[in-house]
Amino acid sequence: MKKIFSVSCILFSVVVFSQGVAVLKYEGGGDWYSNPTALPNLVKFCNDNIETNINENIETVEVGSIDVFQYPFLHMTGHGNVFFSKDDSDNLRKYLLSGGFLHIDDNYGMEPYIKKELKKVFPNKELVEIPKTHPIFNSAFDFPNGLPKIHEHDAKAPQALGIFHESRLVLIFTFESDLGDGWEDPEVHNDPEDVRQKALKMGANIVKYVFVN
């Protein structure tokens, strides 16, 4: 109990004062480091367009480290396998229940692995479809039809799945959308500018939801 209390106090201070985001590093062999220009570009877009003041130097934190509690917003991506140890799962659960937020963006191929590992984090919770009326779709820019499609993979509709705790959205899993590819430098994927703007605006919605709500 003493440990949980101290962690909660640390995060409370961070949520009030920190303006940082971080990439989440995980085990299992998946490429957690993919899309290296994505998060820096999203942060710059947010600072320029929705009046945030987020540190543009993006750090990397390991899922089992107490360092996660320094950041109110964590971003996780990749194409392949994900593995959470018991310590990883316990640490991530404490982080999310203490006020932290995790965005998981499937860069294609991550979905079956992350869903399995999230059951370790929240054995009694399920990923559920986030309603299109949820504030995460209109906190800064309006997306009345929900999550936008950025890259085509399997001709499936994009999905925004979430985990809620006491009515608070603590985690969003963006699937069949590939927001992070849209955040990357233009020359990486040669996406049309209107597609990149949709990705950045949806990302800004997520960021604003975390930092303002």
d(CA 71, CA 11): 8
* pLDDT (tens digit per residue) in 29-52: 999 999 999 999 999 999 999 999
The pLDDT, as a whole number, for residue 108 is 87
Between CA 91 and CA 148 the distance in angstroms is: 31
Q: Which domain holds residue 59?
A: 2-212
pLDDT at position 10 over 50: no
**Calpha distance 100→169 (Å, rounded):** 10
Q: Which residues of 114-140 are buried (b: 16+ CB within 10 A; e: fewer)?
A: bbebbebbbeebebeebeeebebbebb
Alpha carbon distance 209, 205 (integer Å): 6
CB 67 within 8 A of CB 13: no
CATH number at residue 202: 3.40.50.12140
Mean pLDDT of the chain: 90
Task: Tell me which of 10-19, 57-66, 88-97, 137-146 is least confident.
Answer: 10-19
Domain count, the chain: 1
% of the chain exceeding 70 in pLDDT: 91
